[in-house]
Structure 1
């Protein structure tokens, strides 16, 4: 039993996959549908889903009359292209929408990943993404936990929006979905008595519990946020941030 718990603490992301229904990102399929709506995905839309997982967004795009290609570093089903977001195996201008839900933060080279998204988009194409952002310093939590909750990479809100615009995108719709983080937390809490289980691990469990409490406080205060963004390829590479980071608003529904 202890070995199982030790493994769970070492791999929080893998553990969460056992308990979260649907896609492994806050908001699940409903959040994906809203983002597709805002990106104008419909009949004849050519969509690339980077980090597509099991392909729920691909199916939704096809139901809308569009065509969809999925890419993942570890494809789970047939028909999904194996590849990395920093080196997309597609020609220039081949897509109208690049979808990236909770994956850009995983890139070791954030600017290159954004540049690749811009390269494969047709003029006027749209990058539709959601990700965790942080205002100020990233909370001090165990490394495995920081990685699992997308806090180990390019996280500063202002820097994220600046990088988007530097890559040749103009942010046209930015919304905060912090409530999706809280709902995901509540879903996990309803399925796992993590306090009791981590209490069995002694000092290591105490550190993990302290990290969870730190994360919860940061989310509830708004220091950690979850944003859902649509940005249009405008070709003005290097424009810099224009205040979009500060102008986020809550998304209805």
Structure 2
């Protein structure tokens, strides 16, 4: 049997799916439910979940009576369209809400993803996003941590908001959630005998432990954050 921490060092997304029960983002189900409520998702809402992964958020939206469709470059569930984040295969003005949780960091062109979101939304439709933010230069993180949180360079909250406004949205609400990042770290580490597994991994284990300590410090100082944003399409 392969230890989860060993999987973490070679395939972080697979490890995360093994260790976390529910959506693969900070805050989990509760964060998704809150974001859906802030976006006004209810019976009859036409919702597009971009980068939908395993479809957890779509299922929650459908529980509210929404008509939810997913978009992902690697579909794993039904009612998901294969596409990338810069070219949505939908007509203009065919959704009421576009939802994206931890996907902006995966887009090769952030503004194009936001522009496509605006294109498929009805006037007055809502954009509901959450993602990791990065301020300034971080200490070098081990690849598993770097990959899981998309820590590939500065991604300021103010820059994300500026891009959102630039493509025709009016920002309604911005919230920060540092506690969600710390809670997710605890959920990852709780099922592991971390000291023994780190020792078994040798130098890689030491790097992971040091990286986890650097990550905690960066979260506590606000250098790494987690933000959720709801905006209205105002063409």
Q: Normalization by structure 1: what TM-score?
A: 0.86
Where has structure 1 moved over 6 Å in runs of 4 or more?
1-4
Q: CA 1:142/1:189 → structure 2, altered by over 3 Å: closer, same or farther? A: closer
Unaligned residue ranges in structure 1 (runs of 5+): 236-253
Q: Distance in 1 between matches of 2:73 and 2:17?
A: 17
Match of 1:91 in 2: 91
Q: Distance in 1 between matches of 2:5 and 2:193?
A: 12
Match of 1:48 in 2: 48
| SS of alignment partner, residue 42 of structure 2 | coil
Unaligned residue ranges in structure 2 (runs of 5+): none
Match of 2:197 in 1: 197
Match of 1:62 in 2: 62
Match of 1:168 in 2: 168
Q: Distance in 2 between matches of 1:147 and 1:70?
A: 23
Q: Distance in 2 between matches of 1:77 and 1:12?
A: 21
Q: Distance in 2 between matches of 1:22 and 1:29?
A: 7
- Aligned residue pair count: 235
Preserved contact between residue 2 and residue 200 of structure 1 (Cα < 8 Å): no
Match of 1:244 in 2: none
Alpha-carbon deviation of 1:2?
A: 8.5
| SS of alignment partner, residue 210 of structure 1 | helix
Q: Distance in 1 between matches of 2:38 and 2:188?
A: 28
Q: Normalization by structure 2: what TM-score?
A: 0.92
Alpha-carbon deviation of 1:99?
A: 0.3
Structure 2 counterparts to residues 199-214 of structure 1, below 5 A: 199-214=199-214
Match of 1:251 in 2: none
Q: What is the alpha-carbon root mean square deviation over aligned residues?
A: 2.0
